[in-house]
Amino acid sequence: MNANLVFMDHWKRCYLRDLRLLESHQLLAEGATILADNVLFPGAPHFLQYAKTCGKYHCKVHRASLEYFRAIPDGIAELRYTGTH
């Protein structure tokens, strides 16, 4: 069974590794949504770069602020999996 929704809110440096594991094990359904928290602060730049350039996702970053420090800008990435290429 493939996932239709994945929420990432763990070690930001692991986001890209874990996304690629989902892909390599074919665990994402076509059209699946992946939400990744705190992609701007503390940040997951390699994850965002991959999601925007690999051709497998439509990617949007929703601007937000850090949960406990409203003055610190942050964002949540919303990826829509378009399938393997």
**pLDDT tens, per residue, the chain with 85 residues:** 789 999 999 999 999 999 999 999 999 999 999 999 999 999 999 999 999 999 999 999 999 888 778 898 999 999 999 986 6
Q: Looking at residue 45, what is its pLDDT? A: 97
Taken in order 54, 74, 43, 17, the sign of the CA dihedral is negative
- Indicate the domain borders of the chain: 43-74
Query: Which two structure tokens, joined as six digits, stand for 19?
Result: 């996304």
Residue of 24, 25, 52 lying closest to 36 (CA atoms): 52
Decide if 19 contacts 51 (C-beta within 8 A).
Answer: yes
Query: Which two structure tokens, joined as six digits, stand for 31?
Result: 């059209």
